[in-house]
Amino acid sequence: MKIEEIDRVIERYAEERKHETREVAQEHFLAYAYLVCRAGEVEQFMKSTRSLVGYYVDSLSLFDNPFRNSRAHWLLFMLLWFFFSIYMILDDALYVVGIVNLTGTIIFSKSLWGIIWSEWLETSLLIAYYRELIDFIDGQQQARAPLAEAAKAPRGQ
């Protein structure tokens, strides 16, 4: 199978998992694997899917952390600007400008925090769904291992 097809299956599982229970999404994933692959290719499909999902978990954990991007830096800048606005409020000549800046800073920081928080939740859920898929694939491979050994063993007379 091509990586694009495996990627589509993984994304389909994650999308279905958002709307359905784990068991339903896993049954559909397994049904799709058996429909698309031939009998000998299912094991390779599972191995390829597991390695790609493992890569995605590592990638999302490392690079797509919303607290490490430019929005978090803007949020820190808003915190500094908040204190500067309070300083301007304390000065009688800059009182009105300080009030306007403080209000804008609070509003913008609140919306920026909402964006960062929702991205963090979405990324965390996606990582959790991917880890569920890894556990499911590992369980399927362990369940199939005794069957494969029994099929390879010579039959006694």
pLDDT tens digits for 23-42?
A: 999 999 888 888 887 777 88
- Please report, for the chain, the start and end positions of each structural domain, with discontinuous segments joined by +: 3-149
Confidence of residue 82 (pLDDT cuts 50, 70, 90): very high
Stated as kind and residue range, the H or E segment containing 142 is helix 95-152
Report the pLDDT averaged over residues 121-150.
84
Average pLDDT rounded to a whole number, residues 103-107: 96
Which of 92, 90, 115 shows the shortest CA–CA distance to 102?
A: 90
Could you tell me the pTM of the whole model? 0.75
